[in-house]
């Protein structure tokens, strides 16, 4: 009887240890799932930006003339898209997806480029243009048609979490390469989307004061992560991100990314 009891006790101990090991292994695996890691890191970043938003007052945005810009009652985000003239099909797809008029609070303008020189100075030229006028939105996003822009999530963040002033969100630049953009953007990758509050744009030509950018990190998906969304390895439905990596096949990838992410439900603050 005692031998049976000892064996039964040993069996129970082994079973408990095995179960605990499986739980620990499963927990570690889940903690490192791409979706969980991306959402956790981006959630933490947006929470920190929300704290800045609550600590600031509502800024007065001044144009070059010194007059206050009228409040943007409707538009939350103005997107200027650099697009080679030949990419007509890509622009058509963008208009049907993330730039569709149903995305309330978003205005999209395409700036057609023809030469490498036009593309190289794109950010500088448009900052100069919009600094002379009041940006008709709370934020200005300068990008190219190579990226999928998750407009529903960006506008939700502008409405609920992003500071109203002194804010630049960008991808960190490789400083080994010479940057031709304004000094306050030298830490930003000029090939990736750059998101700026309207006061930053208004002050751009008059001041080279360094505004420390927030590096979007996981808000900018890597090529691997973008590829996994496209092939279904990562569920994009509830994934918190702002920008894809550059897509190779243009219109097709943009449409696919829109289809797999458009069911995202932003949580109201």
Does some domain include residue 227?
yes
In this structure, the number of other CB atoms found within 10 A of the CB of residue 189 comes to: 19
Does some domain include residue 61?
no
Contact 163, 197 (CB under 8 A): yes
State how far Cα 57 lies from the chain centre. 24
pLDDT for 125: 74
Dihedral of CA 212/200/49/81: which sign?
negative
Give CA angle at 252 (156, 221), nearest 5°. 45
pLDDT for 28: 39
- pLDDT per residue over 37-59, tens digit each? 999 999 999 999 999 998 876 66
Does some domain include residue 192?
yes
Does some domain include residue 135?
yes
Distances in Å between the Cα of 116 and the Cα atoms of 119, 148, 170 are 5, 22, 22
Contact 141, 201 (CB under 8 A): no
If one compares 257 and 184, the residue with the highest pLDDT of the two is 257
Does some domain include residue 168?
yes
Q: Which of 244, 26, 43, 237 lies closest to 148 in space, CA to CA?
A: 244
**Distance in Å from the first CA to the final CA of the chain:** 63
Spatial distance between the Cα atoms of 205 and 202, rounded to a whole number of angstroms: 8
- 169: helix, strand or coil: strand
Structural domain of 96: 36-50+73-261
Average pLDDT, the chain: 79
Phi, psi of 113 (to 5 degrees): -115, 150
Joined together, the tokens standing for residue 210 give: 């360094």
- Total domains, the chain: 1
Q: Is the per-residue pLDDT at 144 higher than 80? A: yes
Give CA angle at 262 (261, 267), nearest 5°. 95
Spatial distance between the Cα atoms of 110 and 127, rounded to a whole number of angstroms: 15
- Report how many helices (DSSP H) and strands (DSSP E) the chain contains, helices first: 9, 6
For range 178-207, the mean pLDDT = 77
Contact 246, 146 (CB under 8 A): yes
Residues making up the chain, counted from first to last: 269
- Quickly tell me which residue has 């149903």 as its tokens: 102
- pLDDT per residue over 79-123, tens digit each? 999 998 899 999 999 999 999 988 888 999 898 877 665 555 677
Does some domain include residue 216?
yes
Does some domain include residue 199?
yes
Q: Which of 268, 254, 267 lies closest to 99 in space, CA to CA?
A: 254
Task: Provide the CATH number for the domain around residue 187.
Answer: 3.90.550
Long-range contacts, 188-192 (Cβ 8 Å, 24+): 188/213, 190/123, 191/144, 192/143, 192/147, 192/220, 192/243
What is the layout of strands, in order, in the sheet containing 194-197? 106-113, 77-84, 139-144, 194-197, 168-170, 214-215
Joined together, the tokens standing for residue 94 give: 């963008």
If one compares 163 and 202, the residue with the highest pLDDT of the two is 163
Does some domain include residue 29?
no
């Amino acid at each position: 009887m005692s031998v049976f009891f000892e064996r039964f006790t040993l069996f129970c101990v082994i079973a408990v240890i095995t179960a605990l090991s499986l739980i620990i292994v499963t927990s570690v695996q889940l903690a490192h799932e791409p979706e969980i890691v991306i959402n956790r890191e981006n959630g933490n970043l947006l929470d920190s930006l929300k704290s800045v938003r609550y600590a600031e007052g509502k800024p007065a945005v001044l144009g070059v003339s010194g007059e206050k810009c009228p409040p943007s009652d409707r538009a939350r985000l103005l997107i200027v898209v650099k697009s080679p003239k030949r990419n007509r099909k890509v622009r058509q797809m963008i208009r049907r997806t993330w730039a569709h008029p149903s995305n309330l609070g978003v205005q999209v303008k395409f700036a057609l480029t023809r030469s490498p020189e036009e593309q190289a100075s794109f950010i500088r030229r448009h900052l100069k243009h919009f600094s002379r006028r009041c940006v008709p939105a709370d934020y200005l996003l300068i990008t190219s048609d190579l990226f999928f822009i998750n407009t529903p999530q960006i506008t939700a963040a502008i409405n609920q979490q992003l500071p109203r002033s002194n804010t630049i969100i960008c991808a960190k630049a490789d400083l080994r390469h010479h940057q031709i953009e304004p000094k306050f953007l030298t830490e930003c990758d000029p090939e990736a989307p750059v998101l700026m509050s309207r006061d930053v744009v208004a002050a751009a030509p008059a001041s080279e004061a360094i505004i420390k950018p927030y590096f979007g990190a996981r808000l900018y998906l890597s090529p691997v992560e973008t590829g996994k969304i496209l092939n279904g390895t990562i569920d994009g439905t509830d994934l918190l991100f702002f920008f894809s990596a550059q897509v190779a096949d243009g219109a097709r990838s943009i449409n696919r990314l829109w289809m797999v992410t458009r069911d995202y439900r932003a949580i109201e603050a």
